[in-house]
Amino acid sequence: MKISEVKPNEFSEFYANYLALVPKETTLIDGFNKDLKEVVDFFQHIPAIKLNYAYAKEKWRVKEVFQHLIDTERVFQYRCFCIARRDKTPLPGFEQDDYIAPSQAKNKSIESLVEEFKSVRLSFIALLNSLSNEDLQFLGNANGNTMSARAAAFIVLGHNQWHINIIKERYL
């Protein structure tokens, strides 16, 4: 299943910028495996002095951005899972800023964040491997909007790229 198969009615317009960052020929499993390597390599090569850097007051530190990627992946994996299992329960949104302080990301080592990311990602890949194309096309409701299981998954890839681009532009 390629991202080019995801239709505009499968996600909120809010996510269009993320999905636009995913190359059109990207398939879910290959994309998730490639992104796993790219995200880990990216964060492992950030100089230690920059890991607790924030480019402005009230902005997240680099490690907090990484934690945000992990937390978002967890939320979207759950969305993908629920929707693929045909759960009609509307899924809540999440306030990303509320998650950062209790995560204590600024006190975590980059190694522990990398391991956390890998664990979450491998879990998501296992889920995706267990789903059929029909499962992935099923539509549910997340944060008051229609979302397909496959859109929930592909959004993660674009979201990661979005934040990596911001780190490159504003933090490094």
Three-state SS across the chain? Answer: CEHHHCCHHHCCHHHHHHHHCCCCCCEHHHHHHHHHHHHHHHHHCCCHHHCCCCCCCCCCCHHHHHHHHHHHHHHHHHHHHHHHCCCCCCECCCCHHHHHHHHCHHHCCHHHHHHHHHHHHHHHHHHHHHCCHHHHHCEEEECCEEEEHHHHHHHHHHHHHHHHHHHHHHCC
Average pLDDT of the chain is: 97
pLDDT at position 67, please? 98
Q: pTM for the full model?
A: 0.97
pLDDT of residue 71: 98
Is residue 1 scored above 90 in pLDDT?
no
Residue 4 binned pLDDT confidence (cut-offs 50, 70, 90)? very high
* Structural domains for the chain: 3-170 (1.20.120.450)
pLDDT tens column, 133-150: 999 999 999 999 999 999
